[in-house]
Structure 1
Amino acid sequence: MSHTPIKFAYWVPNVSGGLLISKIEQRTRWDIDYNRKLAQIAEQNGFEYALSQIRFTAGYGAEYQHEPLAFTHALLAATEKLRIIAAILPGPWHPVVAAKQIATIDQLTGGRIAVNIVSGWFKSEFTAIGEPWLEHDERYRRSEEFIRALKGIWTQDDFSFLGDFYRFHNYTLKPKPLQQPRPEIFQGGSSRAARDMASRVSDWYFTNGNTLEGIKAQVDDIRAKAEGEGHAVKIGVNAFVIARDTEAEARAVLDEIIDKADPDAVNAFGREVRQAGKASPEGEGNWAKSTFEDLVQYNDGFKTNLIGTPEQIAERIVALKAAGVDLVLTGFLHFQEEVEYFGQRVIPLVRALESQHADPVAA
């Protein structure tokens, strides 16, 4: 098992409705005041990263959405250490615009911004804003070009690139980002095309929530492919965390979330995402095998099973690390209170278990 401590990130609620398609009460807000305070709580309680979401249209409870780059900048300005990953959607963004925006934000905030390249799953969102909807593997081909363009613009002068989607001729960006060699690049996806792309160009690969066995299979696959490409990629996994003093309390919260799920919204979301998941040639993209209960939490976060007491959750996180996970991307019902609880009650247990595993005498 790696000696590097596992990292923790949280989903920035810059979109209304929290992270659940459920009518359960959520003491989570999408406004900037709530989010500034949340970012400060997170960095004071052991979180190293946060992820700002991208949505252009309402749907599935997300009636309001703040644009992620502007929102990320505001949160970076309110914090000192936290690194924030801004979601970028090829199509609406051109790589030169994204590269310039991110370089500026990086300069203004002491080098703490990263990006998550989202290839796109929400077809009706693309059609609503007049963007062409590419076939599944073409979306990943475009994303790979987008990432290669970002890397070139950020690290080279007189950058030229002739792709099928993007072309550059002796372009020089100044100033370049503060971070050396450049800001980190994250991407998501569960399909073969997503893993193959990550194995070639991405620094980090986010996968939906899954069982320990399912995650280990994905990690082993992507690491072997990356090694074949002479590349290294780190792994982040999505998890919806319900940490309570007793397992019964945690399970009761999960039951209430599912009991109060909005069936029409969940089923509409299911139809939309299954189109994306099954569109991959092997039929195994994100959500291709998700149940109704899984879909109540956007990215299969219940599957990772970080639900129970701090001790149970800490042990499961260390098991994820042993399977090759480098970062856990967390969602919560009541973000401010629960990020603080997680930082005070769960992370210290994880660190203690990590040190035991690192010490062969203790083991």
Structure 2
Amino acid sequence: MSTSPIQFAYWVPNVSGGLVVSKIEQRTHWDIDYNRKLAQIAERAGFAYALSQIRFTAGYGAEYQHESVSFSHALLAATERLKVIAAVLPGPWNPALLAKQIATIDQLTGGRIAVNIVSGWFKGEFTAIGEPWLEHDERYRRSEEFIRALKGIWTTDGFSFAGDFYRFRDYTLRPKPLQKPHPEIFQGGSSRAARDMAARVSDWYFTNGNTPEGIQAQVDDIRAKAAVYGHKVKIGVNAFIIARDTEAEARAVLQEIIDKADPEAVNAFGDAVKQAGKASPEGEGNWAKSSFEDLVQYNDGFRTNLIGTPEQIAERIVALKAVGVDLVLAGFLHFQEEVAYFGEKVLPLVRALEARGETIPQAVTA
């Protein structure tokens, strides 16, 4: 278990439709005014990171999508300490372009930009914009080359690289990013290929929502493999947080979300993502084993079980930390008010438990 305080990030709603595929009211909005205010609320509440989403086409309730890198820069301009993680897709992006974009934003914002390399799950999106759709493990091979190229461009002069997907010859980027050795690199996934890639090249590994036991199995695998390469990887887990004054209130909200789920959209989303998850050779990628209820929240966020009173949620967060989680990536139904509530009611309890050195082992199976 890390001795550092567990950190918190939130999903930036730069894509319309909210974070649940349900007809329940979601008091959130994808426009810049809402998001600027949300970023400022999150910064005051104690969130260290925000993660912008990358989508190119409509689908599953996401009718509108702002581009992630430019939107992230706008949020950085509205804040002072928050670090924003811009999600990008190898394929649409070339590493030379992204390296230049991120270096510039890093210079302009005092070193507060990071990237999340998304290997891709939405085949229809790639087809719509004329990008080749690679097989599961090939997508991760391309992402690994993408990350190796980013690191090389950001840290060396006269960078040369000869891969299967990207090639560089004596390329020097100036100015380089302020952050040393380079801006943080996040990636997601649950498959063997995703874990293996993280163990070799990524700073952070995001996994879909899961139980502490399920998360620990991934943590142990990644960290054992990373040690072979002399590398260290931090772990982030997705969670949809429903914090209310009573457990009954929180559970009622969850039930309403599921009761009002849009079956057609959920099933269409499920078909798309399970194709991506099951396409891994071992059949254990993201969403490969997700139920209908799991898929109502895009990244299995209900499975992390951060649903209940502030006290219950704080205990479960500390239990996640005990199995190796360094960061909770949080989604909410009503972002502005619930991020503020989390900062006021939940986060102080987490810090108090951490200060007492408690791990709350009984919460692991709660």
- 1:185 equivalent in structure 2: 185
- 1:145 equivalent in structure 2: 145
| Contiguous gaps of at least 5 residues in structure 1 | none
Q: Provide the alpha-carbon RMSD of the alignment.
A: 0.8
State how far apart, in whole Å, the 1-side matches of 2:50 and 2:263 are.
29
User: Amino acid of the residue matched to residue 261 of structure 2?
Assistant: A
User: Amino acid of the residue matched to residue 198 of structure 2?
Assistant: A
Q: How does 1:248-263 map to 2 (within 5 A)?
A: 248-263=248-263
Asked if 2 retains the 8 angstrom alpha-carbon contact of 1:3 and 1:358, the reply is no
- 1:28 equivalent in structure 2: 28
Alignment pair present for 1:323 and 2:316:
no
State how far apart, in whole Å, the 2-side matches of 1:37 and 1:89 are.
27
State how far apart, in whole Å, the 2-side matches of 1:123 and 1:239 are.
25
- 1:292 equivalent in structure 2: 292
SS in 2 for 1:149: helix
String of CA shifts for 1:102-139, please: whole Å, max 9, x gaps: 00011111110000000000000000000000000000
Per-residue deviation at 1:2? Answer: 2.0
Asked if 2 retains the 8 angstrom alpha-carbon contact of 1:122 and 1:273, the reply is yes
String of CA shifts for 1:197-243, please: whole Å, max 9, x gaps: 00000000000000111001111111111111110000000000000
Per-residue deviation at 1:101? Answer: 0.4
Alignment pair present for 1:98 and 2:94:
no
String of CA shifts for 1:279-318, please: whole Å, max 9, x gaps: 0000000000000000000000000000000000000000
- 2:269 equivalent in structure 1: 269
State how far apart, in whole Å, the 1-side matches of 2:88 and 2:126 are.
14
SS in 2 for 1:54: coil
Per-residue deviation at 1:148? Answer: 0.1
* Distance of aligned partners of 1:318 and 1:159 in 2 relative to their CA distance in 1, 3 Å threshold: same
- 2:63 equivalent in structure 1: 63
SS in 1 for 2:168: strand
String of CA shifts for 1:25-68, please: whole Å, max 9, x gaps: 01000000000000000000110000000000000000000000
Asked if 2 retains the 8 angstrom alpha-carbon contact of 1:35 and 1:75, the reply is yes
| Contiguous gaps of at least 5 residues in structure 2 | 360-366
Greater mean alpha carbon deviation, residues 320-329 or residues 176-185: 176-185
Asked if 2 retains the 8 angstrom alpha-carbon contact of 1:239 and 1:300, the reply is yes
- 2:364 equivalent in structure 1: none
Q: How does 1:82-161 map to 2 (within 5 A)?
A: 82-161=82-161
State the TM-score, normalized to the length of structure 1.
Answer: 0.98
Asked if 1 retains the 8 angstrom alpha-carbon contact of 2:208 and 2:237, the reply is yes
State how far apart, in whole Å, the 2-side matches of 1:231 and 1:58 are.
38
State how far apart, in whole Å, the 1-side matches of 2:327 and 2:344 are.
18
Per-residue deviation at 1:3? Answer: 1.5
State how far apart, in whole Å, the 2-side matches of 1:219 and 1:95 are.
28
Asked if 2 retains the 8 angstrom alpha-carbon contact of 1:18 and 1:333, the reply is yes
- 1:340 equivalent in structure 2: 340
- 1:220 equivalent in structure 2: 220
Per-residue deviation at 1:358? Answer: 6.8
User: Amino acid of the residue matched to residue 336 of structure 1?
Assistant: Q
State how far apart, in whole Å, the 1-side matches of 2:221 and 2:22 are.
34
String of CA shifts for 1:244-288, please: whole Å, max 9, x gaps: 000000000000000000000000000001100000000000000
Which structure 1 residue ranges, 4+ long, deviate > 3 Å from structure 2?
Answer: none
SS in 1 for 2:26: coil
State how far apart, in whole Å, the 1-side matches of 2:358 and 2:276 are.
41
SS in 2 for 1:274: helix
State how far apart, in whole Å, the 2-side matches of 1:77 and 1:178 are.
16
String of CA shifts for 1:149-182, please: whole Å, max 9, x gaps: 0000000000000000000000000010111111
State how far apart, in whole Å, the 1-side matches of 2:206 and 2:181 are.
21
User: Amino acid of the residue matched to residue 118 of structure 1?
Assistant: V
State how far apart, in whole Å, the 2-side matches of 1:358 and 1:35 are.
35
User: Amino acid of the residue matched to residue 277 of structure 2?
Assistant: G
State how far apart, in whole Å, the 2-side matches of 1:40 and 1:81 are.
10
SS in 2 for 1:195: helix
Asked if 2 retains the 8 angstrom alpha-carbon contact of 1:185 and 1:203, the reply is yes
Asked if 1 retains the 8 angstrom alpha-carbon contact of 2:5 and 2:351, the reply is yes
Asked if 1 retains the 8 angstrom alpha-carbon contact of 2:318 and 2:358, the reply is no
User: Amino acid of the residue matched to residue 302 of structure 2?
Assistant: F
- 2:163 equivalent in structure 1: 163
State the TM-score, normalized to the length of structure 2.
Answer: 0.97
Per-residue deviation at 1:72? Answer: 0.3
